[in-house]
Amino acid sequence: MNVFKLEDHPHRRYNPLTGEWVLVSPHRANRPWQGQVEKKEDEELPRYDPDCYLCPGNIRAGGKKNPDYKDTFVFTNDFSSLLSDTPTGRMDENGLFLAESEQGLCKVICFSPRHDLTIPQMSIDNIKKVIKDWAQEYEELGKIDYINHVQIFENKGSIMGCSNPHPHCQIWAQKSLPVEIIKEQKHLSEYYDHYGCTLLSAYLEAELLKQERIICTNDTFVALVPFWAVWPFEAMVICRQPVKNIASFSDKEKTDLADIYKQLTVRYDNLFETSFPYSMGFHQAPADRKEHPEWHLHMHFYPPLLRSATVKKFMVGYEMLANPQRDITAEQSAFRLRSLSNVHYTSK
Contact footprint for Zn ion (CB under 5 A): 184, 283
- C-alpha pair distances (Å), 48 with each of 67, 162, 276: 14, 18, 21
Nearest-angstrom CA–CA distance, 269 and 259: 15
Backbone CA torsion sign across 172, 177, 178, 184? positive
Nearer to Zn ion, 184 or 207 (CB): 184
Q: How far is the CB of 178 from Zn ion (least distance, A)?
A: 11
344 phi and psi, to 5 degrees?
-60, 135
Nearer to Zn ion, 184 or 259 (CB): 184
- Active-site residue set: 168
153 phi and psi, to 5 degrees?
-150, 155
Nearest-angstrom CA–CA distance, 339 and 320: 33
Nearer to Zn ion, 155 or 270 (CB): 155
Q: How far is the CB of 297 from Zn ion (least distance, A)?
A: 9
Q: What DSSP string describes 31-54?
A: STT-S--PPPPPPPPPSS-TT-TT
Q: How far is the CB of 65 from Zn ion (least distance, A)?
A: 37
Q: How far is the CB of 184 from Zn ion (least distance, A)?
A: 5
Exposure string over 34-56, b if 16+ CB within 10 A, otherwise e:
eeeeeeeeeeebeeebeebbbbb
Nearer to Zn ion, 121 or 185 (CB): 185
The DSSP 8-state label assigned to residue 121 in this structure reads G
Nearer to Zn ion, 107 or 283 (CB): 283
Nearest-angstrom CA–CA distance, 326 and 309: 18
Q: How far is the CB of 234 from Zn ion (least distance, A)?
A: 11
